[in-house]
Structure 1
Amino acid sequence: MKGILVGAALSLLFALLGTPMFIRFLVRRGYGQFIRDDGPTSHHTKRGTPTMGGAVILGSVLLAYASAHLFTLTMPSASGLLVLFLMSGLGVVGFLDDFIKITRQRSLGLRSSQKLAGQGLVGVLFAILALQFPNDMNRTPAVPFISFLRDTHVNLAFAGTISGVILFIIWANIMIAGTSNGVNLTDGLDGLATGASTMVFGAYVLISLWTYNQNCQRNPGIKCYEVRDSQDLAIVAAACMGACFGFLWWNASPAKIFMGDTGSLALGGALAGLAICTRTELLVIILAGLFVLEALSVIAQVASFKLTGKRVLRMAPLHHHFELLGWDEITVTIRFWIIAGLFAALGLSIFYAEWVVGSA
């Protein structure tokens, strides 16, 4: 428990104090956001706002995680390191995308194929490694079962070892692409993605703590959880939550800095990694429901236009639609935070209800 508190507190402190220093560095280098011309006209005032702030979030998480283990004199776990690897790898892909946008002064960075290739490479490595490193009880960070509140009976390894690994890699990459791009699409208003991410990571702190206290390795029973490194995953989730809190101080409207793809892809990767390693792969769809809605709005917009020539929204993603309806940006952000909080609460309620019903 001490490691979780230290991880959360230090990541918040690092982000809170480190962000203004990073802002000054970016301003000196002239690294500002380029605003797309087809977006809401109110966003044109944000042109030149420092971006790539996700580097502060990522750095704060890594430093806080390391500090938590130094403070508690414990070794990092395979699960925790793998989630941080996925987060860092996608953060690098996002950084390259942001850097190209800034240096070439355009709203597009990496081409879609390049970005997907980068995400895919990191995702494949994560998925392969997640099935390795068995502990003393032969438990690996991930297993080739599709999970909801815990492992289901859907075994991706039914066709044999190699086929099972390939199917798991595909499944893991679908999740990684979904969460990272979901957060990326949501990151269009000051503080929106940061605040929503804080809530989802907070939910994963509670889930990881619960699975630690009711773990089959510590407390065997009919309803125990098979999650390998629950406590360390709680430290990772707490560090992510704290870093988002600290960054939100500077990212809230009017934003002094944007997280950019560096942050959105990294945070989405962390969510996917936590979902896979805590065996809650399908539950993340509910916990991160706001990100899912934002992604679905883009899919619906594109599909409708290609099939019928008509748009279902004034503009996608969904938050821009409400802006064009006349809502103030801060109003959209706060109401979407409320929606994000309701989704996180719903996911936690379902997770806990399964335990209560199963233990009754």
Structure 2
Amino acid sequence: MRMSLTPWQTFCLLFIFQLGTTIVFGFAGGAKQDAWLAALISTLIGCGVVWCIAKVYEQHPKHNWVAILKLTFGSWVGHLLAMLYILALIYEAGRILRDLGELMTTFLLPRTPIGFSMFLVLVLVVYAANAGIERMARLAEVSIWFIFIFLLLLLALLLSSGVNNFGWLLPMATDWKHIAVTVFPLGLTTTFGETIVFAMMWTLTVGPKDFRRSALFSSLAVGLVFILLDLIAVGTLGPQMFSRALYPLLSTFQLIRVADFIDNLDPAVVSIFITGGMFKVFAYAYAACAGIAAQWHIRDHRAIVVPVGTMILLTAIYTAKSISSHIFVGLKWVPWVIELPLFVMLPIVVLAIGTVKKQLQSSQPGGKP
């Protein structure tokens, strides 16, 4: 297939995707004052997971994830695994859409029904999926500067407000059990393992080596952002409030007060969150469409964009009765049942099988070295 993106565009898409809604809920809040340390460990191990995912692309440079599963496990098993991935992509997209709906209802449109708010977001996502990955990559090039500039501005204003107490970061590394539980599996799966989503469409992005570099650099950059934000959030809210707040980073930026003039910056902060969330829903929706098209040999993915969008909206509406149940399932159930086996373990297994097959082929008489 034709490569349609540049390495920089791929980096921008991956960075905003990995930032996603994780920035809304904070990263590694369960580790309290050691959240930054949990974020650091998650980044280091997560980059290893991303490297494994990228190496699979290097082994199969002409195939997407559906074809790779069939080549690795055979037609029947590969078909069933591909179906599981497609359903998981739709479910995850619905969960992220619900995150955005809850956020908009709480801070921007309190009198608007959450279903209608999510429908508005989904209309934009369906339009973007119909337009294709090239246009979204161009938009990502612009959006990444918007995110960087606003985050730097907000951090500067927060530090200027005099509400920080970095003594709350001490003592460090006192509870390794909570750090370990925070890192595994949630710290690996929620951001870094989700890079497997691009396997459904990586043949439309860049070549394998450029994809690997873009993915690793974006993972490192996202990890550094999480570490910095965790340090500042804990140093502003304190470890107890940081671990208990539903939207800890938003609560942190709400404390901005400069000269009794600059305050109430919630819309700017929420805009950053929504931008990352929309790109994440788009990536999941587009990947689901690409997977379905590859699974049933549909030439144009646009024929199934609206049905997939409808399933995502229904998932967002009916999979959780309240925000508390939605958060509980996302933290306690989804990482273990869906993300760890499908986003982390199976790609590593595919890489291992592909490596063994390559070595066996090269060791046979007449095989390529």
TM-score (norm 1): 0.31
**Between structures 1 and 2, the one with greater helix share:** 2
Q: Which has the higher contact order (CA 8 A, sep 6+)?
A: 2
TM-score (norm 2): 0.30
